Structures are given as structure tokens and as C-alpha cells.
Amino acid sequence: MVKIGILGAAGYTGGELIRLLINHPQAEIVFANSESNAGNKVYDVHEGLLGETDLEFTSEMPFDQVDVVFFCFGHGKSEAFLKEHEIPANVKIIDLAQDFRIKGDHDYVYGLPETHREEIAKCQHLANPGCFATCIQLGLLPLAKAGLLTKDIAVNAITGSTGAGQKPSATTHFSWRDNNFSVYKLFTHQHLHEICQTLNELKPAEAPHVVDTLDEGYEADGITVDFIPYRGDFPRGIFCTEVVTLNERPVESDLIALYKTFYQHAAFTHYSDKALDLKQVVNTNKGLVHVEVFGKKVVITSMIDNLLKGAVGQAVQNMNIMFGIDEKAGLNLKASAF
């Protein structure tokens, strides 16, 4: 039984994590920390938990009683928290924020099981990938590894409103967002950092460098990921298309085989022979990928649930790997489907 502490337990990801863990056969929530909700029942804050748990939020953080701590803070707060608090060395950390996703002066492993499974299994500290980053990488990884990314990549990804978090704002106001559609952070979304990092890690030496345009600018030598994020009028899910131009017209069946082979051992990511629609993955930890070819151009469709495979589902998947448990434990979720 993995003993678990949750920090930031009253937010969206905190709530979704609790919803997963109370049905996890090998996990036990020891504490769910929320300063502002201390003493309140978890089901008073998080939809749908009435009758399932009597857990209360606490202002305590008894790190000595847990095996792992999940950081469900907003971005930038994990690093700050660690400066002010000491977490025992034997307690693992899974950070859902972006603070440690980029390699640097820390020992956090990037938690994308499709590419970093072995490192994850051995790590003490894990940086859980971003939602857009997960979805886009699932679409591009097989081509990156095969050295087939040699020209600029057109990425269009539509996200649900839960990606914007719990705090009400103008662009998450129902009256505005319902039946509406818009773009934001055109070509400048912060997830480009981690996407470029993985693509460059995976590519053969001779393949061109993927330029992190946020850091290196557009004049740098290499290819770019031209990413347009859209706000969709649905709460859950990310739907993404990636258009890659190859040097030569490929054989479609070869490309499909490349994808199927790449994901043959993945616990939750699958190649679909048919065109995709988002609700196939909503409320699940799955990633689905589909490929079509037009001339030299390859169109990949990839999709995930942003709160699950794009956040806490992947975090629990990583926890399972880190503790040597069945990778799917607690994650056999019924798709909402409708």
C-alpha cells in the first residue's frame, strides 16, 4: 500500500487525484493538504465524492507518514515550496507543475512513460509532463525517433476549459465560452520548452535540431514546432493535429507500422486505424493516435484527457511505475463516452 500526501488538494488536479486514488487498490491517501479548506470534508469541495470518502482537508503535512507527495500547486510554486519546507529524502515527489520539467540543476525525471519509463522506475523525484506537451509528443515521438522530422511542424491543438484551472476568469465564463472558439498564446505556448527538449533527446544525431523558438528565436538553425493552441467549448480533453512534411512521399503502411511498433508496449497509448473523436479518451488515461498521408505530408491526430493522461492520470501512472506496481492500477477508467 503506497502511502500518499497531497499538497494543493483543493484545486482541480488535487480533486481529480483524490477521485482516482480512493479507488486505487494499492494506494492510501494519508493527508490532503489545503490551508484554506482545513477541516472541511473533501466532498464539500470536489464534485462527486459524497458517499465515497469521509476524508477531510488538513493544514498539516506529516511527511514522515507517507511514501510519496504529489505537488498539485500552480506553476512556479513547487520550487518556492521546497525552499521553505524540508521533505525527507526517502519520500518521493511527483510534481504536476512545470517547475522541473526542463533539465537543469535538479534530479527530477521527466515523467513521460512512453519515452522515459526506465528512468521513471528508478527516480525519486518526478516532473509530470504538461497536458498539451503530452498530447503533442504522443503524435510526434515515433517520427522524431525515426529521424523523420526534417521540416517545420504545424501543430494545432484544442483544449478544454479545465486546462485553465479552477479560478473563474473572463475566458472561462460560461456565457462567453459556450459555443465560442478562440486562439491564445499563438506560437508562444510555454509547453514548447518540454516538447522541444524531448524531440531533441529522441532524434538521431544527424536529424536537424528542433528550435525552441521561445528561447532561441526564429533565426536559430533548425526546424520549428509551430503550435497554435485553441480554446474549445468543452471542459475536458485535448485534440491535436500535427502536420509533418517528409523529404519523400512515404508508404502509409510503413508509417502506421512505425507508430504501432513504437506504442506496442505502452500501457495507455494506442494507435487507432480509424479517425478519432475526442470523447473516446475523455475520462480515461488513454492516448490515441492516428495517421494519414497526403503526398509528402503526414497528418497525425492525437488526443488525451487533459486532466488524466495530461495531468493526474499520468501522475498516478508514474507513481505506479515508481513503486513497481501494475502500471494500470487504479487507472482502468470507464470512458464517459457521452
Q: Which stretch binds a second copy (CB under 8 A): 81-89, 126-134, 138-146, 287-295?
A: 287-295
How many degrees, rounded to 5, is the angle at CA 160 between CA 159 and CA 166? 125
Binding to a second copy, residues 58-97 (CB under 8 A): none
Q: Which of 102, 297, 323, 325 binds a second copy (CB under 8 A)?
A: 297
106 binds a second copy (CB under 8 A): no
How many degrees, rounded to 5, is the angle at CA 131 between CA 129 and CA 137? 70
- In angstroms, the CA 132 to CA 9 distance is 22
Greatest C-alpha distance within the chain: 63
Q: Contact at 8 Å (CB) between 311 and 13?
A: yes
296 binds a second copy (CB under 8 A): yes
Q: Least distance to a second copy from the beta carbon of 257, Å?
A: 18
Q: Residue 131 catalytic?
A: yes
325 binds a second copy (CB under 8 A): no
Q: Least distance to a second copy from the beta carbon of 284, Å?
A: 6
Considering the complex, state which of residue 35 and residue 277 has its C-beta at the smaller distance from a second copy.
Answer: 277
- Residue 321's CB is within 10 A of a number of other CB atoms, namely 23
Q: Which of 16, 114, 194, 212 binds a second copy (CB under 8 A)?
A: 16
Q: Least distance to a second copy from the beta carbon of 188, Å?
A: 8
> What residues have CB less than 8 Å from 92, skipping those under 6 apart?
67, 68, 69, 123, 124, 125, 126, 319, 322
> What residues have CB less than 8 Å from 82, skipping those under 6 apart?
none
Considering the complex, state which of residue 128 and residue 162 has its C-beta at the smaller distance from a second copy.
Answer: 162
Q: Which of 1, 35, 50, 85 binds a second copy (CB under 8 A)?
A: 50
Q: Least distance to a second copy from the beta carbon of 320, Å?
A: 16
**Which residues are bridge partners to 299 per DSSP?**
243, 292
Q: Is 187 exposed, middle or buried (0-12, 13-18, 19+ CB in 10 A)?
A: middle
Considering the complex, state which of residue 48 and residue 324 has its C-beta at the smaller distance from a second copy.
Answer: 48
Q: Contact at 8 Å (CB) between 261 and 208?
A: no
Q: Contact at 8 Å (CB) between 129 and 141?
A: no
Considering the complex, state which of residue 123 and residue 195 has its C-beta at the smaller distance from a second copy.
Answer: 195
Binding to a second copy, residues 252-281 (CB under 8 A): 268, 270, 272, 274-281
Considering the complex, state which of residue 16 and residue 194 has its C-beta at the smaller distance from a second copy.
Answer: 16
Considering the complex, state which of residue 162 and residue 198 has its C-beta at the smaller distance from a second copy.
Answer: 162
Give the per-residue contact string, 116-145, with a second copy (x = CB under 8 A; - = no): ------------------------------
Paired sense of beta strands 223-231 and 269-271, if any: unpaired
- In angstroms, the CA 85 to CA 77 distance is 12
Q: Least distance to a second copy from the beta carbon of 30, Å?
A: 20
- Residue 167's CB is within 10 A of a number of other CB atoms, namely 9
Q: Which stretch binds a second copy (CB under 8 A): 54-62, 66-74, 102-110, 162-170?
A: 162-170
Reading the block at residue 290, the C-alpha cell is 492516428
Q: Contact at 8 Å (CB) between 100 and 78?
A: yes
169 binds a second copy (CB under 8 A): yes
In three-state secondary structure terms, 210 is strand
Binding to a second copy, residues 174-233 (CB under 8 A): 174-184, 186-188, 213, 217-219, 224, 226, 228, 230, 232-233
Q: Least distance to a second copy from the beta carbon of 271, Å?
A: 9
Considering the complex, state which of residue 52 and residue 56 has its C-beta at the smaller distance from a second copy.
Answer: 52
Residue type, 70: F
Binding to a second copy, residues 19-48 (CB under 8 A): 19-20, 23, 44, 46-48
Q: Give catalytic residues, as residue numbers.
A: 131
